[in-house]
Amino acid sequence: MVPTMSPDAQSPAASTDAGRSVAPPGEGGSESESPRIGLALLGVGMVLGLLRFFRLGEWSLWFDEVLTWGDSHLAPDGLLNRAGYWLIRQSVEWTGSEPTEFSLRLLPALAGYLAVPLSFWAFRPLAGSTRAGMAAILIAASAWELQWSQTARFYTFVQLTSLIGAGVTIRGLLSSRSVLVVAGVLLAASGVMFHLQAGLVALALLVAALLAPPSQGPGARAAGRRAALALLLPVLVGAPVLYRSWATYQGMKAVSDPVGSAAHFLLSVGWYVTPALGAAAVAAVILAVRSGDRRCRFVMIVAALGTGALLGLSMVATVSAQYFFSFFPFVALVAAWPLGSPGLSRTPWARNALAVALILPQVSGAGLYLTSERGQRPRWREAAEYVAAHREPGDSVASDPAAVVEFYLGDRDPRWVRRTRDVVSFDQFNPWFVRSEVKKGGAVWLVLRNDNLMRYDAELRARFLSYVADNFQLVQRFPVLVAGRDLSIDVWHHR
């Protein structure tokens, strides 16, 4: 049940910004907005969200997914997010099956699907049913959301806790109830059980509540300040734990080029958010700033704080785009914000055109992901099956990374995921383990993902490829081309 609003929040006449009428808190959009539009949009989103289960078990596992299975049994020391590993292991056991692509991905797909209705629930009191419904569709149709929903990792789990926390925080601010604000921030922070980015989401919600509360009345500001004071002790207790985890990560992923690393982070986030949605969000930001829309400003600041924090972190350690994943629903809501403006409500054709312009690129991207892009997954399973069908006893197999090939070739014993025993591992630091196998005199199978070669130093890559071409024969290729990236896998044979 939505908490009772304070008198100043309930009155439309009292909710004005610089003389502009602001919608009642229950809707957050045009006062003439029909909830049926938003519910219809949510229905479309729920149908599109079912794409998460389409071909769920068809794409090959990739390296991190194989590590998920191994680490769910033998987690490395100091692992903070053990809950995600445990849940995926349990989902495999609940299905009563071996660790297949489907059983490993089922729970992340369910969490990804639940993000569709939860985003509507979380954002509707702040933004109105039309905007929340459109945000739900954008989340449902995003190829990025599909990818992580079909991946045996924990990003959809942490996005789910972020949405729940955001929904409770928003209701607390709109009703001026600091208890709800505290509960919402803590719920969002609980996602650190799955990934550290949850801490950034919780902090962004709290800071946005202090800097830009979505209600004009003094109650919202007071609720934010009281919540900040109440959360001071949990922050002081939890900060050292999170810092130690980050320091461990930084030690493994330190960067030598801070500017290049930051640029890569921004470009990769822009790519996955998609230029179309990003452009719509920027346009919405400009319009919201000009109109003084407090509610849109709150959402904007949450997304901006997440971007800024991750951008700063990317200058000291590698920060991948998926660390921004839990902020994607906020970007989707900002992009959908103009749909709830009174002007568009009076011109249905303009609102429909904007809705199509927002949805079409997302649906097109999802269509490519599910068809020609083959889930953006290298075809490790098919390559391993080819080697298994053609190798003879005593043949050596080498790969970078070796864990995935061994997963498909061996008995899937989780003890050997991080330290393979049957497949020789090589990488950009020492690819010459392959040469050692050749010198032994037996037949050698080389399973090589072309995209991985781009991590090698240019001179080393040229020397290694020259060695492979001189000593091996290309016997099979499993192509996957995704927007300029070559995820193809080549199988080479030396006799």
3-state secondary structure of 447: strand
Specify the pLDDT at position 28. 52
Does 240 have pLDDT greater than 90?
no
Lowest mean pLDDT segment, chosen from 56-70, 139-153, 332-346, 391-405:
332-346
Cβ contact 166:205 at 8 Å: yes
Specify the pLDDT at position 176. 94
Specify the pLDDT at position 2. 36
Does 135 have pLDDT greater than 90?
yes
**Mean pLDDT score of the chain, rounded to an integer?**
88
Specify the pLDDT at position 36. 87
Bond prior to 401 in cis (omega within 30° of 0): yes
Retrieve residue 188's tokens.
């969002």
Average pLDDT over residues 456-479: 94
d(CA 113, CA 156): 9
Does 130 have pLDDT greater than 50?
yes
The band of 418, judged by pLDDT with boundaries at 50, 70 and 90, is confident
Specify the pLDDT at position 13. 36
The band of 248, judged by pLDDT with boundaries at 50, 70 and 90, is confident
Specify the pLDDT at position 255. 87
Specify the pLDDT at position 118. 98
Domain ranges of the chain: 7-374, 378-494
Does 129 have pLDDT greater than 70?
yes
d(CA 63, CA 143): 20
- How would you classify residue 109: left for phi > 0, otherwise alpha for psi between -120 and 50, otherwise beta? alpha
Average pLDDT over residues 157-180: 97
Instruction: For tokens 């299975």, name the residue.
Output: 69
Residues 6+ apart with CB under 8 A from 256: none
Average pLDDT over residues 411-428: 84
Residues 6+ apart with CB under 8 A from 208: 298, 301, 302, 305
How large is the C-alpha radius of gyration of the chain? 25
Each residue of 359-372: pLDDT tens digit? Answer: 999 999 999 999 99
d(CA 71, CA 50): 29
Lowest mean pLDDT segment, chosen from 49-63, 65-79, 310-324:
65-79
pTM of full prediction above 0.85 = yes
State what percent of residues in the chain have pLDDT above 70.
92
